């Protein structure tokens, strides 16, 4: 199965691709299947959240995401005002009325359960949706797994994926029938060497087969959404929701940076502040539930846009075509990581989110700046290697502390990794594939409390009030 650039970069809403977007998609899928089952009048819906979806679901608004999905909303098209009104109406009436279905009973305070027991066997992010007949007997029940980046699989689909791909989660980055069906960095480099094509051009060839003449318009739409998110984040001020009283800082830092521009009084390392501020702007928007692009997840959504902004606004010779190549190459690397390891913080920790994003951004920047295929692979490896072992330990289950700053540092590491790779010839000791496998193994060994449960790490070592 072909994993497209637009699977890696999905336009949606915050604060989490796995805990917000995924459950919303799962609930909408359940409704579609329920329509085919022709439920009788008086059917009642129930939902239970398991594993990380339970432990950090309140902070990630997972309960609200399920409700909105059951109301027929999807992350990429949701109208926030209409969603808020319909959610309020549901909580009051405790029923759902949708085209093609009888009026369904659903009482969020009783029928949406946070199950804090052991996670379901398929993945750390599990969700069970059930339709009950009027007599209380089950009509239909489905188990869904939100496997990171907004990807959703039923229990049956996940089992089939793993039977086909061994231990690898979900579908690979390309399939036979596409011009360049690479599933590892070694294959990617070998195909590039044999064809004389760059990674960007190979990825473009695969995408053109899938999306045709619309490819560039779709790439431009992804970048426009990313850039728009940066701009909104640089304008907004105030306190982020959730109870931690975290103050938005990107706007204030940005004003400081603008006031220093051309004044010949800033330190040379101030460019790092620009990079970090772009990333923080995105993740502050994500934390506030704004519109973001999974890159490859919401929790890591600031890294790639920040590095593209750095390329566009600060690098010599930046072009719009360079931005398109950046996105294609970043998606190619993200696809390799997802296929051979994971991009889910609940599965492998934040190394799979910000670590993956940093590797993607490093590769994309290296490509945009004219790097060879070997230098691009080296850049991705450097960035990923220096995020290995990073835990996912959000305070109060919110994508705020340490997530917002962590995106800033991930973006800075990406730029440094690309720069180091461009100073070499692409030859290096640790191959990217080995680094990805190390991340997978590290994730397996990582204690559950450090994998997006908010039961360990920074999440429990909070200041006493």
Is-cis flag, bond preceding 424, omega within 30? no
Distance separating alpha carbons of residues 188 and 283, to the nearest angstrom = 31
Q: Is residue 368 predicted with pLDDT exceeding 90?
A: yes
Q: Is residue 245 predicted with pLDDT exceeding 50?
A: yes
191-216 tens-digit pLDDT? 999 999 999 999 999 999 999 999 99
Distance separating alpha carbons of residues 400 and 354, to the nearest angstrom = 13
Q: State pTM to two decimals.
A: 0.92
Residue 164 has a pLDDT of 80
Residue 172 has a pLDDT of 42
Distance separating alpha carbons of residues 363 and 306, to the nearest angstrom = 14
Domains, the chain: 16-164 (3.30.1330.90), 173-459 (no CATH)
Residue 339 has a pLDDT of 95
What is the average pLDDT value for the chain, to the nearest integer? Answer: 94
Q: Is residue 145 predicted with pLDDT exceeding 90?
A: yes
H or E element that contains 110? helix 108-111
Residue 169 has a pLDDT of 40
Distance separating alpha carbons of residues 173 and 169, to the nearest angstrom = 11
Average pLDDT over residues 237-246: 96
Residue 309 has a pLDDT of 98
Weakest mean pLDDT among 106-120, 258-272, 297-311: 258-272
Average pLDDT over residues 362-371: 98
Q: Are 180 and 174 in contact (CB under 8 A)?
A: yes
Residue 175 has a pLDDT of 55
Residue 252 has a pLDDT of 98
Residue 3 has a pLDDT of 87
SS3 call for 178: strand
65-77 tens-digit pLDDT? 999 999 999 999 9
Distance separating alpha carbons of residues 150 and 433, to the nearest angstrom = 24
Average pLDDT over residues 338-360: 97
Average pLDDT over residues 235-262: 95
Q: Are 384 and 373 in contact (CB under 8 A)?
A: no
- At residue 83 the predicted structure's pLDDT band, cuts being 50, 70 and 90, is very high
Residue 129 has a pLDDT of 98
Residue 266 has a pLDDT of 77
Q: Is 95 exposed, middle or buried (0-12, 13-18, 19+ CB in 10 A)?
A: middle
Distance separating alpha carbons of residues 249 and 389, to the nearest angstrom = 28
Contacts of 52 (CB under 8 A, 6+ apart): 18, 19, 119, 124, 125, 345, 346, 451, 452, 453
H or E element that contains 141? strand 138-146
Q: State how far the alpha carbon of 187 is from the alpha carbons of 161, 181, 203, 249, in Å.
A: 21, 8, 13, 43
Average pLDDT over residues 436-451: 97
Distance separating alpha carbons of residues 457 and 182, to the nearest angstrom = 37
Residue 331 has a pLDDT of 98
Is-cis flag, bond preceding 296, omega within 30? yes
Q: Is residue 448 predicted with pLDDT exceeding 60?
A: yes
153-173 tens-digit pLDDT? 999 999 998 888 654 444 444
SS3 call for 256: helix
Residue 263 has a pLDDT of 65
The percentage of the chain sitting over the pLDDT mark of 90, rounded to a whole number, equals: 92
Residue 176 has a pLDDT of 57
Residue 289 has a pLDDT of 93
Q: Is residue 419 predicted with pLDDT exceeding 50?
A: yes
- At residue 299 the predicted structure's pLDDT band, cuts being 50, 70 and 90, is very high
Average pLDDT over residues 8-23: 95
Q: Are 111 and 21 in contact (CB under 8 A)?
A: no
Distance separating alpha carbons of residues 453 and 464, to the nearest angstrom = 20
Residue 177 has a pLDDT of 86
Residue 173 has a pLDDT of 45
The percentage of the chain sitting over the pLDDT mark of 70, rounded to a whole number, equals: 96
């Amino acid at each position: 199965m072909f994993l497209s650039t637009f699977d890696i970069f999905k336009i949606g809403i915050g604060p989490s691709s796995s805990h917000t977007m995924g459950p919303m998609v799962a609930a909408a899928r359940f409704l579609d299947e329920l329509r085919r089952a022709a439920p009788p009048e008086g059917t009642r819906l129930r939902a239970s959240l398991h594993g990380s979806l339970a432990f950090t679901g309140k902070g990630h608004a997972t309960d609200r995401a399920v409700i909105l999905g059951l109301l027929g909303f999807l992350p990429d098209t949701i109208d926030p005002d209409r969603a808020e009104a319909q959610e309020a109406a549901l909580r009051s009436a405790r029923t759902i009325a949708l085209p093609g279905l009888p009026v369904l009973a659903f009482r969020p305070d009783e029928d949406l359960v946070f199950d804090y027991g052991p996670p379901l066997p398929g993945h750390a992010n599990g969700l069970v949706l059930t339709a009950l007949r009027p007599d209380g007997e089950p009509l239909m029940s489905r188990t869904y797994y939100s496997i990171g980046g907004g990807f959703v699989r039923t229990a049956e689909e996940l089992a089939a994926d793993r039977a086909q791909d061994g231990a690898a989660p979900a579908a690979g980055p390309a399939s036979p029938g596409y011009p360049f069906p690479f599933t590892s960095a070694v294959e990617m480099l070998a195909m590039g060497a044999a064809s004389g094509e760059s990674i960007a051009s190979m990825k473009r060839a695969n995408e053109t087969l899938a999306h045709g003449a619309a490819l560039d318009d779709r790439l431009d739409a992804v970048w426009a959404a990313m850039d728009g998110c940066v701009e909104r984040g640089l304008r907004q001020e105030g306190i982020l929701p959730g109870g931690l009283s975290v103050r938005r800082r990107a706007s204030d830092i940005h004003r400081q940076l603008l006031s220093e521009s051309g004044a010949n009084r800033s330190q040379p390392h101030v460019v790092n502040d620009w990079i970090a501020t772009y990333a923080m702007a995105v993740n502050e928007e994500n934390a506030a539930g704004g519109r973001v692009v999974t890159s490859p997840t919401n929790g890591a959504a600031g890294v790639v846009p920040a590095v593209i902004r750095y390329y566009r606004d600060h690098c010599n010779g930046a072009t719009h075509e360079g931005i398109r190549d950046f996105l294609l190459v970043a998606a190619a690397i993200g696809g390799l990581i997802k296929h051979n390891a994971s991009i889910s913080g609940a599965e492998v920790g934040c190394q799979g989110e910000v670590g993956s994003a940093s590797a993607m951004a490093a590769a994309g920047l290296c490509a945009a700046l004219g790097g060879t295929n070997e230098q691009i692979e080296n850049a991705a490896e450097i960035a990923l290697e220096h995020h290995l072992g990073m835990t996912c330990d959000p305070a109060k289950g919110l994508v705020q502390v340490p997530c917002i700053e962590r995106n800033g540092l991930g973006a800075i590491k990406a730029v440094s990794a690309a720069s180091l790779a461009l100073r070499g010839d692409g030859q290096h000791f640790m191959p990217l594939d080995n680094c990805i496998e190390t991340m997978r193994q590290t994730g397996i060994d990582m204690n559950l409390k450090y994998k997006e449960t908010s039961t360990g790490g920074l999440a429990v070592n909070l200041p006493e009030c």
